[in-house]
């Protein structure tokens, strides 16, 4: 799934992405670390993997979207 980086805190390695419908979804350090990224800037297109649905949905991977 694709999303757009919305917030990122380099101290905690956590933040939020915006889904294409505008829904914000938070991610934590393990999801960020799983993608192997060192930095994330707001506005970057990212690829995410999730598990669960609705309010229980959580991001398990954040990485850069590549074509």
Q: What's the CATH number where 43 sits?
A: 2.40.50
> Residue 10 pLDDT more than 90?
yes
Residue 43: count of CB within 10 angstroms of its CB: 9
- pLDDT tens for 18-49 read 999 999 999 999 999 999 999 999 999 999 99
pTM for this predicted structure: 0.88
**Structural domain containing residue 23:** 2-64
CA distance 12 to 52: 23
- pLDDT tens for 51-61 read 998 888 899 99
Total number of domains constituting the chain: 1
């Amino acid at each position: 799934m694709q999303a757009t980086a919305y917030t990122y805190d380099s101290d905690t390695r956590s933040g939020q992405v915006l889904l294409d419908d505008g829904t914000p979804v938070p991610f934590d350090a393990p999801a960020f670390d799983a993608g192997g990224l060192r930095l994330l800037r707001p506005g970057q297109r990212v690829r995410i993997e999730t598990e669960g649905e609705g309010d229980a949905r959580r991001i398990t991977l954040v990485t850069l979207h590549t074509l």
